Amino acid sequence: MFIKSTAKRFALLIIGSQLLGSPALLTSFASGDGGEPSTEKEATKEETVAPAPSPNIARLGRIPDWTRLDPYQESMSREEFIYLLRHCYVRNDGDFKDYMVFRHDRVLIMKQSNYPEAGYYELRFKPENKIPEVKSRFWRPANELNDLPENSSKPLQDLVIAVDPGHIGGEWTTWDDRHFKIGKDTIAVEEGVMTLKVAKILERDLTQLGATVVLTRATENPVTADRIEDLHDEARAYLIRKRKTPSSGLIAATAKRMFAISSEIRARADLVNENFKPDLALCLHFNASPWGSRPSFRKSNHLHLLINGCYAAYEVAEDDTRLEMLLRILQRVYYEEVALADDIISTLQDETDLPAAYYDGTNGKSINDNDYLWSRNLLANRMFLCPVIFFEPYCMNHVETHARVQAGEYRGLQEFKGVFRKNIYQEYADGVTAGLVNYFRRNR
C-alpha cells in the first residue's frame, strides 16, 4: 500500500533501465505511411554499445509500464486526442512534439525521452466508423449512476468520494512548510490541520446525503512510511539525474520535498487507485500569498479550483509523467472535471464571496470562460486516476482569513467586518456540498 522502500525503488530503476536498453526489446516499425521513427540501431562486432541511461522520471517516480495503454487502443479519435492535448494538457504545442509522432491513424509515443533507442509505443486511434469507447477505468461519471427516486433525500446515493486533506498536521507541520504564526498571542495557522477539519465535516455531511466517503488520511500523521532521513540517497541520485550539483544543503532540501510531497502523495495515490477506487476525489487546500523573509499579512484573498493540465515541456519529458498524462486523456476525465467544477464554483463562491484568482499562463491555464477554473499539473490531480477537483480557497495570510482561523469551529454565526459568517471550515464544506448535490441531481 505504501510507496516502495528505498532499496526496492533503486532496484526497479536499475532493472527498468536495463530492460529499456535491451536491443531484444526495442520496438521497430514498418514504414507503412512514410518514415516511422527509427527505434533500433544495427551493431557490428567492432561497435561498442553504450549502456542505456537511467530513465527520466519524476521525483520518486516509477519506471512506466507502457502496456497500461493497451486497453485504450482504438478508443479515441485522432481529433479528440489532439484537442484534449492542446486545449488542456500542455502549455504549448512544442512541449510534446519531441515525444509524440502523429500519423493519420495512430500516435507514436517515445518510451524513454533520453534514449530514443528504447522505442516507441504505438497507440492506434479510433477508426472513423467505430463508436467511441471509454475503457479500463474504475470511476463512473454521473450519467452512469443509477437514477434517483423522485424527491430523494440522498442525491449522492451509490457515489464513492475520496476526500484528500492536503498536507499533514501536528508534529509534522514543520516538515512540509505549510504553517506560520503572525503575532505572539495567536494560534498558529497550520494548513494540514485546517484541511482535516474540513474533510471531517464533508465526511459527515456527504455520508448523510448517501455517498460513501473515504479519507486519504484521518489523522494528522503522514500516510507514507518514508521519512526524510530515508530519502537522502534518493535525493542525491535524483539531483545527479537532473544534472544538479548534489550539495549537502540541496540534498537535505530535496529529501524534505520528497517526503512531504512526492512520497506522501504517492502513498495516498496508492490508496485511491488500488483500495478506494472512487468516482471522484476532492483535494482540499487553503491558499496563501507570498511573503518576504518572514510571515506577514497580504491584501489578496481569493478562490480558484484546479483540474489536471498545463504540463510544462520538462514534465512531458519525464517518462512516468508522460504516461500518467496520457491515461487521464484516454479516460476522458476532463469532461467530468470541468462540468463538476463549474457547479461547485458557483456554490462555493456564493458561500465565500471571494473573487477569482489569476494565473499568467505559465503554471496555470484557462480552459473555459469560468474565471475561477484553471488547469495545472500537480502530483495529486495527476496520479489520482479519477476526476479530481483541487480546491484553493482563502488566503491564510489575509487579515480576515487569519481572524476566522483564530475564531475556530464556533457554532452559529460571528461578525467579521460587518458580515455575519459561519465558521470558515463549515463555510468551505457547505460550498462544496451544495455544488456536488446540484451536479448529481441534474446529471445522474
- Of the listed ranges 2-6, 73-77, 295-299, 397-401, the least confidently predicted one is 2-6
Per-domain boundaries in the chain: 6-124, 142-443
State the pLDDT at residue 56.
95
State the pLDDT at residue 2.
43
Q: Which residues, 6+ apart, have CB-to-CB distance to 289 below 8 Å?
A: 298, 299, 300, 395, 397, 398
The pLDDT tens digits for 83-99 are: 999 999 999 988 999 99
Cβ atoms < 10 Å from Cβ of 138: 15
State the pLDDT at residue 130.
82
Quote the mean pLDDT of the chain: 89
Say if residue 149's pLDDT is above 50: yes
State the pLDDT at residue 174.
77
Across the range 421-429, mean pLDDT stands at 98
Per-residue pLDDT band at 248 (split at 50, 70, 90): very high
Fold of 142-443: Aminopeptidase (3.40.630)
The answer to whether 207 and 158 are in contact (CB under 8 A) is no
**CA neighbours closer than 13 Å in the CB half-sphere of residue 146:** 13
Across the range 419-433, mean pLDDT stands at 98
The pLDDT tens digits for 279-303 are: 999 999 999 999 888 999 999 999 9
